[in-house]
Amino acid sequence: MSKNKPTLPQGTRDFDPSTVRKRRYIFDTLREVFELYGYQPLETPAMENLDTLMGKYGEEGDKLIFKILNNGLGDPKNIEKSKTAFERVLEGKNDTDLTERALRYDLTIPFARFVAMNHNTLTFPFRRYQMQPVWRADRPQKGRYREFYQCDADVVGSYSLINEVELASIYYTAFKKLGINVEIRINNRKILAALAEVCGGADKLTGITVAIDKLDKIGLAGVTQELAQRGLSDIQVTTIEKYLGLAGSNEEKLDALKALIATSATGATGIAELETILNYPGSPVMTVDLTLARGLNYYTGAIFEIKALDYQIGSIGGGGRYDDLTGTFGVPGIPGVGISFGVDRIYDVMEGLNLFPADVHTGARILFFNLGEAEAKAAFGLLQQLRAKGIAAELYHETAKFDKQFKYAEKKGIPYIVILGSEELATSTVKRKDLTTGRQETLTFEQLLTSLL
């Protein structure tokens, strides 16, 4: 056994009690909103078969998937097994001899796998939310971890734009409950497709999307340079510059846009979709952001991104509509739309703006001092009665000096202490002290049990 000081794997974190409680506050708030909208919880295993995951995230993504070593390999007592497996891998024959399973990389592909496996029994539209960790072998850096939670809500089996309105409304409601001022930005991939059409052909769409997606990082000059490098003519680049420069209210932007991409039927559809979503009665306020592109290829309609208004940080949510969730698993024709919450960044915003409610730390409310065996036994009886009433409380574990017990209460942030010494025991009373105000009262046992804190 190693006697070395242990460490954590790079890019992973322990969550101490205070952090778990704050994170749980975020998860509980999101869950409550998802449930209000009829979304249902789903959980999938951490491990998936390797062929479920590989090839779904592009070449770069594939490299970041954590693979699980097949059992028994590397065992010095069974070196033959390793040898055979290694030889086959090196001959390029079969790398499933080395690994057949991997840790999930996101929640979308496991969801697609679940829907593909169960589409005959699910009721569509199927609305699910999922809040689970994912793993990526990224280089760890500030704010980027190898294990982190994703939190997704998707509805599949429906083309209705009411879903987009509801998901925007989920964003609005959730961030309102969390106390974070946000801008809900919306665009539509059909508009970007129309822009590509106008600029020389649909085959330019990915290039244009990728370039526009970098606008925040490399600026307009960088984008135009990249577009030129990707083979767009000056006229085409000018059109895109004009597109990126469209300003004003949502209506003004859309009106100007209609002129710019007038020749594209796809564009007209995209604009109409946007207008339906924006104008649906009860729809939350959104900002049309024509520079919004989103990185992922599979979006086909509305795309969303959430920007925190009072805190400098990247987007804290995003999503969009896709045409085909499960085609890659042999079940075509299931469209959907989904959104994601960036829980780690939301945590940073709330911590930075001091938005966590004070009572998020729901630890014990009362510490009974331990002042001797008979006293502790009496205290324990009272303690159990308080717990039965739902009040979290503790008895100090052993008889110790006042000072030591005080410090324990302070360090654990327990707001009240109860003193039951020999004198109090004789009179069936306790002294209760409020550590916040310093106020101390003498109470009968009955008063202690019935007075509210």
List residues forming the annotated binding site.
106-108, 136, 150, 154, 294, 298-299
From candidates 27, 61, 81, 99, binder to a second copy by CB under 8 A:
99
Sequence-distant (≥ 6) Cβ neighbours of residue 6 within 8 angstroms: none
By the rule CB under 8 A, 369 interacts with a second copy: no
Sequence-distant (≥ 6) Cβ neighbours of residue 149 within 8 angstroms: 23, 131, 132, 133, 134, 343, 344
Q: In this structure, are strands 416-419 and 299-308 parallel, antiparallel, or unpaired? A: unpaired
By the rule CB under 8 A, 340 interacts with a second copy: no
Residues 388-447 that bind a second copy (CB under 8 A): 390-395, 397-398, 408, 411-412
- The residue range among 75-83, 310-318, 352-360, 437-445 that interacts with a second copy, by the rule CB under 8 A, is 75-83
The conformation of residue 302, written as its DSSP 8-state character, comes to E
* Location of structure tokens 């040898």: 83
Interatomic CA distance for residues 322 and 212, integer angstroms: 19
- Cα 128 vs. chain centroid, distance in angstroms? 14
CA dihedral over 232, 236, 237, 243, signed as positive or negative: negative
**Binding residue count for a second copy, defined by CB under 8 A:** 109
Cβ proximity of 257 and 303 under 8 Å: no
Q: Which two tokens stand for residue 444?
A: 């009968």
- Least distance to a second copy from the beta carbon of 200, Å? 29
User: Strands, E, within 46-146: which ranges?
Assistant: 47-49, 67-69, 99-103, 126-135
- Least distance to a second copy from the beta carbon of 221, Å? 35
- The residue range among 69-77, 231-239, 263-271, 285-293 that interacts with a second copy, by the rule CB under 8 A, is 69-77
Interatomic CA distance for residues 298 and 286, integer angstroms: 23
Nearer to a second copy, 137 or 425 (CB): 137
By the rule CB under 8 A, 178 interacts with a second copy: no
- Least distance to a second copy from the beta carbon of 108, Å? 14
From candidates 25, 26, 29, 40, binder to a second copy by CB under 8 A:
40
Residues 259-288 that bind a second copy (CB under 8 A): 280-282
3-state secondary structure of 340: strand
By the rule CB under 8 A, 197 interacts with a second copy: no
Interatomic CA distance for residues 258 and 289, integer angstroms: 15
Nearer to a second copy, 250 or 328 (CB): 328
- Cα 426 vs. chain centroid, distance in angstroms? 55
What HEC string does 210-231 produce?
A: HHHHCHHHHHHHHHHHHHHHCC
- The residue range among 120-128, 234-242, 255-263, 351-359 that interacts with a second copy, by the rule CB under 8 A, is 120-128
Nearer to a second copy, 5 or 217 (CB): 5
* Location of structure tokens 């003519």: 233
Please name which of 285, 276, 287 lies closest in space to residue 250, comparing C-alpha atoms: 287
Cβ proximity of 439 and 453 under 8 Å: no
By the rule CB under 8 A, 352 interacts with a second copy: no
Cβ proximity of 421 and 372 under 8 Å: yes
From candidates 233, 249, 297, 362, binder to a second copy by CB under 8 A:
362
Nearer to a second copy, 146 or 204 (CB): 146
Q: Which two tokens stand for residue 54?
A: 């590989």
By the rule CB under 8 A, 344 interacts with a second copy: no
From candidates 30, 57, 101, 224, binder to a second copy by CB under 8 A:
101
From candidates 29, 48, 223, 277, binder to a second copy by CB under 8 A:
48
Nearer to a second copy, 31 or 431 (CB): 31
By the rule CB under 8 A, 92 interacts with a second copy: yes
Q: Which residues are annotated as a binding site for L-histidine?
A: 106-108, 136, 150, 154, 294, 298-299
Nearer to a second copy, 267 or 336 (CB): 336
Cβ proximity of 263 and 184 under 8 Å: no
By the rule CB under 8 A, 42 interacts with a second copy: yes
By the rule CB under 8 A, 225 interacts with a second copy: no
Sort 433 into a burial class: Cβ within 10 Å, 0-12 / 13-18 / 19+.
Answer: buried
- Least distance to a second copy from the beta carbon of 216, Å? 29
Residues 320-339 that bind a second copy (CB under 8 A): 328-330
By the rule CB under 8 A, 141 interacts with a second copy: no
By the rule CB under 8 A, 372 interacts with a second copy: no
By the rule CB under 8 A, 453 interacts with a second copy: no
Nearer to a second copy, 27 or 311 (CB): 27
What are the φ and ψ backbone dihedral angles of 158, each rounded to 5 degrees? -150, 135
Nearer to a second copy, 162 or 218 (CB): 162
